[in-house]
Chains A and B, each alone.
Chain A
Amino acid sequence: MARNDRLKNSLKTLAAAVFWLLVWQGLSLLVRQPLLLPSPLEAARRLGALCVTLPFWQSIGLTLLRVSAGFCCGVICGVLLGAATAKSKLLERLFQPLLAVVKATPVASFIILALVWLQKDLVPVFITFLIVLPVIWANVLEGIRRTDRGLLEMAQVFRLPRRKVLSKVYAPSVLPYFAAGAATAMGLSWKAGVAAEVIAMSNSSVGYHLYRAKINLETPDLFAWTAVVVLLSVLLERVLRGAIRRMEGRRHDAADH
C-alpha cells in the first residue's frame, strides 16, 4: 500500500515536471530565439556534450567541495553557537546583533568584502558558511529553548550525567528543529555558494562556467549549468533528509505505535 502510494506520488511529481518542460518548450517555440530562451532539448543536448568532458566533472567536484565545506563549517559553528547562547544570556546578547547584521546584509556585499579579504577560491566557502550559520544557530537555539522543562527536571531529580542529558533529552528534542534548519540552509548554501563563485570567478567552478556562458552569450550553456546546480542541490538535500530521517528513526517508530 505504502509502495503504491510512493509510486503514485512519484508519477504525479514526474507529470508536473513534464508539464513545465512542455511549457518551456512552448515558450521557446514562441520566442524562436535560442539566445534568449533555448529549448529544453537544446539545453539537454548541451548538458550531454558537457558531461563527457573532464572540466565539467572537475568543476562540479570543486563546487561541491566548496559548498559542502562551507555548509559543514556553518552547521558545526551554528550548533555550537546555538548551544552556547542557549546556556548564556550574555553570549546571546553579544551575538544577536552580529547575526542580525549577517542575516540582513546582502550576500553580494559579503562576496565583494570576502574578495578583498580572502583568496578567490575560499570566497564561496566563506559565503556559504555565513549563510548557513544564522539559520542553524536560530533553529538549534529554538530547539533547546523548547526542550520539555519537565523532562529536564526529571533528569535533574534522577541525577543523570550531563552526557546522558545531552544525548537522551536535548538531542532528540532539538533534532526536528535542526533538520528543518539544515534543509533550508542546504538550499540557500547552493544559491549563495554559486553566486559567490560567479562574482569571485573561482577556478574550475560551476559559477565560473555560468559567468563564461553569460559573457559569451552561450544561453544553452547557462541553462545546462543551472540545471546542474538544481540537480546537485536537490540530490544533496535528499541525502541530508535521508540521513536526518535515519537519525529520527526511533522517534518515528514511537509515533507509529
Chain B
Amino acid sequence: MLQITDLSFSYVPGQPILERFSFSARAGERVCIKGVSGKGKTTLFRLIAGLETPAAGTITLPPGCKTTLVFQEDRLLPWLTAKGNVALCAGEEEAERWLSAFGLREELDAYPAALSGGMCRRVALARAVAAAPDLLLLDEAFKGIDPARKDEIMTLLKETFRDKLILFTSHDDAEVAAFATRIMEL
C-alpha cells in the first residue's frame, strides 16, 4: 500500500535528515517507526502527508488514498468546540459518533481551552479517525492519555483500521508492544 524508495530530505543543505530511505507497508499493518530524537520520524510523516517535498526519491500510495496525520501538538481550532473541530473534517453526526467513541460524549460543546491535555489529544484523534483515512499517521498521538483510556483507544483503532494502514511513533515501549504489528528502526 505504501512504498517509499530512496527518500532523501534535508531542511538545511548538507545536513540530510533522511538519506536514501526505503520502506514499504501493507494495509492491515500497524508499523511503529522507531528512532532517537532528530532521526527524522516527524519529517518522514510530514513527507508522507504531503507537507514537505522530498529532495530525492518517491513516496507511492494507491490512487485516491486518503492520508491523515495526528500531529505531536493537538492543532485544534481554539474558537471551535470539540464537536466543531471534528465536524470540520467529517460532519456533525460523525463528529458526535466519534467523540462519543473516544469517551468525550459530555465534552461535545466544550472548547479546547476547557479540556485537559489528554482530552485534547482524544479530540485530535477523533478528528483524524472521523476523516476516514486509508493511511493514518500518529506522531506521539497517545502522549498524555491516561493508561486505561489508552488501551480503549488502541482497541478502537485496531478494529476501525483492521484493513487499513497505521504508522505511528512512540517512545513508550509498552505502548509499542501493545499496538504495533511491526517495528521499523529509522
Contact = CB atoms under 8 A, between A and B. Distances in A.
Given A160-B89, A168-B88, A250-B79, A150 B111 contact: no
A74 B81 CA distance: 34
Interface string B135-146: 000000000000
Contacts, number: 47
B131 A251 contact: no
A152 B75 CA distance: 9
B10 to A, nearest CB: 19
Nearest to A257: B114
Nearest to A175: B79
A158 interface: yes
A164 B91 CA distance: 13
Label chain A's interface by main secondary structure.
helix
A160 B51 CA distance: 14
Interface in A152-178: 153-154, 156-158, 160, 164, 168-169, 172
A160 B68 CA distance: 12
A34 B54 CA distance: 79
A154 B72 CA distance: 12
Contact of A150 (B71, B88, B110, B127): B71
A169 B68 contact: no
A151 B77 CA distance: 7
Contact of B88 (A160, A251, A253): A160
Nearest to B69: A157
Label chain B's interface by main secondary structure.
loop
A255 interface: yes
Contact of A158 (B73, B88, B112, B114): B88
B51 A157 contact: yes
B80 interface: yes
Given A168-B88, A172-B77, A154 B71 contact: yes
Interface in B61-99: 67-69, 71, 73, 75, 77-80, 88-89
Contacts of B50: 156-157
Nearest to A250: B79
Contact of B78 (A154, A156, A164, A254): A254
B71 A168 contact: no
Contacts of B77: 151, 168-169, 172
Interface in B118-149: 127, 131
B113 interface: yes
A257 B113 contact: yes
B151 to A, nearest CB: 27
B49 interface: yes
A143 B51 CA distance: 23
Nearest to B70: A157
A160 B75 CA distance: 14
Contacts of A172: 77, 79
Nearest to A253: B111
Contacts of A169: 77
Nearest to A165: B88
B166 to A, nearest CB: 15
Nearest to A248: B79
Contacts of A156: 50-51
A254 B111 contact: yes
Contacts of B69: 157
A251 B78 CA distance: 8
Given A158-B89, A160-B89, A250-B79, A153 B51 contact: yes
21 contacts: A150-B71, A151-B75, A153-B71, A154-B75, A156-B50, A157-B50, A158-B88, A158-B89, A168-B77, A168-B80, A172-B77, A250-B79, A250-B80, A251-B78, A253-B111, A254-B78, A254-B79, A254-B111, A254-B112, A254-B113, A257-B110
Given A158-B89, A257-B111, 15 more contacts: A150-B71, A150-B73, A151-B77, A153-B51, A156-B50, A156-B51, A157-B51, A158-B88, A158-B127, A160-B88, A164-B88, A168-B77, A172-B77, A254-B78, A257-B110
Interface of B: 49-51, 67-69, 71, 73, 75, 77-80, 88-89, 110-114, 127, 131
